[in-house]
Structure 1
Amino acid sequence: MTDRSPFAPSRRRLLRTAAAGVLAVGAGAVAGPLLAAPAQAYPWGGTLRQGASGTAVRELQIRVAGWAASSAAKVYIAVDGQFGPATFGAVERFQRAYGLAVDGVVGPNTQAKLNALAKGDGSTAHFAWSEMWDSYTSSFAGGAVSAASAQENVRRTMYKLEALRVKIGNLPIHINSGFRNKQHNADVGGIVGSMHTYGAAADMYVAGLANRVIYQHAETCGFSGLERYTIDHQHVDSQAEFGRSWWWESGVI
């Protein structure tokens, strides 16, 4: 579990500085496995419990990343393949939310629920690639990382959004913007180095639900970037996982 302090400088000033240096490190760190593998029935290879390690634990961490905390906390689940206390806590929260036995052990029932959240094409139960790819090109190409890395980052964002969806009462989340290529990002006035160009951000709205409520629940989902809730959409991103500082523009609410 990673815990970093919020930062005070303006978002645009800090991210423009980060784009020149830190991002190059972050981009390599989060590329992760390429996308074709995780289909609907992931081959978990047996029961996973605290102390386990390996690729199945990495996949588990991706799928429970949105259950990073039970209340507002600047923490995220590191995808490091090591089943430690943070992953254990996330599994327990996942189990509780889905009506499973709460023991932090990832056996057949928990694995089946995790698999039910995945579609055969690698996207997730309630989010489609077409919602999240660049609307200019219908692809994940042309961003700050390779198309394969951007798509993998989008997949990880989708699992956090699945958790957020549960926490707001299983209401549909409408995506305004997911991945954006560099040209698209520039055209809409996005900052250089925007997390959208990495596939690690989403702008959304929920019909009939105040953005303030979305923001509050997103504080528990491992999102390290939260734009203020007083505009016409709610932005979330995972910038701390790219070596950036935490940025919750409206603070903790």
Structure 2
Amino acid sequence: MTDGPYNPRAGSASEIRFDVPHAARIWNYWMGGKDNYAVDRAAGDAVAEVYPDIVTTAKESRQFLIRAVSFLAGEVGMHQFLDIGTGLPTMQNTHEIAQRHVPESRIVYVDNDPLVLAHARALLVNTTPEGVTTYVDADLHDPDVIIADARNVLDFTKPIVVMFMGVLGYVADFDELRSIVARVMAEVPSGSYLVAWDSTDTGEAVNEGGEKLAETGAVPYNLRSLEEIGQYFEGLEMVDPGLAPITLWRADVGDAEPIDAYGAVARKP
């Protein structure tokens, strides 16, 4: 057992701390899940006290995933998905949505958080006989390992959907972040897609929330500017409506309002 805060790059279940706020469990709490502990709820409440929209962001991030995967599988016909940094399984996971539209869809989840992997073994299973659902234990900071492992399941001669859903903030250095995204997208062929969203530094409250999260002892999350998030998609062709608040991306807007979280879907030419 480690002496410091939980490290998302650690790979051993023995390193899970239950007395330190855990990033995936805090997110699970904000989403209304039950896979969390008092220390996680306390950290989540501390952030929500100064930035109440974090709860909306957590819940709306799943709705964005549902709409993006439904569009790519249901309208575009994509059937290969590489979901990097998937987090704790919850309702309407990538494989469930994709295989509902395209039964033979193949999904590779990537994470190296031992808690996430323990849940993945139990919950991330095929929803159709034709499909393939699996996970690889690999580090977000190690794109070459991710690519090598994913090749065992996905056909890299055919288009693949690459997903970074609210995880790139765990990469502190922006140049490294861009390198990770570019490295993975360089390996997938023309016709592939990148789906990504991230929390933005677009308001005083969200920035205060980020500071509060770090103060709780949880792993810090680096907020990005809209310009920086736009750079994730350099060289790709964004589909309408482009980079947008995740609450509004291809949504029946109704009462939806913009929040400090932006995402997009873009095609590799």
Task: Please tell me the TM-score bracket, short chain as reference.
Answer: under 0.3
TM-score (norm 1): 0.27
Higher RCO, 1 or 2 (CA under 8 Å, sep at least 6)? 1
